[in-house]
Amino acid sequence: MPCRKRIILTKKMKQLDKKAIWLFFCYFVPFFFLMSFGLYLLIKGVGDLFLRLEIRFGFLGFGMTVLAVFFLSFVWALLSYRFYKYEMAGTEFRKESGVLLKMYTSVPYHKIQNVNIHRGIFSRIFGLSTLYIQTAGTGAAESMLPGLSQKDAEILREDIIHRAKNTKNQTRVDF
């Protein structure tokens, strides 16, 4: 029965703005370039050291590597977008993310101290925002939502702040 309940909850969850795919793509390209360069050095080093082979990389090999990096970055961005979901539940904010490793985050409204909107260079290029949710006692954000449209980020920020204030007012004890 718990599995069925989880599936029902997942269907209500919202996805990020579709332009978030391009934002994720911009984040992943440098990572995949570094990985491919490291792999090349590893293969070349192992080949030179143990096999006494000289691996020629040339222009065609470089071009194929660049295409492979862009392709892998785009596929990873699509998957990241597909598996990044959030919802405003009754007593908490919930988020699911991750392609290979899934992360489930729940932040109770009564613990929320601050909600910030950040717009970096890539976010501004695509007209997107990142929402940071902070709780008491943590230096970093407890949860973040990248790839929201500016309008959705503002609305979500106001909604979270409103729910946090209402939850704190209901739990406050007057003497």
Q: Which domains does the chain have, with CATH numbers?
A: 17-81 (no CATH), 87-171 (2.30.29)
Torsion sign (Cα): 140, 87, 129, 72: positive
Contacts of 100 (CB under 8 A, 6+ apart): none
User: Above 60 in pLDDT, residue 163?
Assistant: yes
Is 148 within 8 Å of 170 (Cβ atoms)? no
Is 24 within 8 Å of 74 (Cβ atoms)? no
pLDDT band for 3, please (50, 70, 90 cuts).
very low
Is 128 within 8 Å of 17 (Cβ atoms)? yes
Residue where the block lists tokens 């993310």: 97
Q: What would the two tokens of residue 172 be?
A: 């406050």
Is 113 within 8 Å of 89 (Cβ atoms)? no
Q: How many helices (H) and strands (E) does the chain have?
A: 5, 7
- Give the model's pLDDT for residue 45: 65
Question: How confident is the model over 78-100, as pLDDT tens digits?
Answer: 999 999 999 998 889 999 999 99
pLDDT band for 14, please (50, 70, 90 cuts).
very high
Q: What is the pTM of this model?
A: 0.74
Q: Where are the alpha helices (DSSP H) in 47-120?
A: 58-82
Distance (Å, rounded) from C-alpha 67 to C-alpha 75?
A: 12
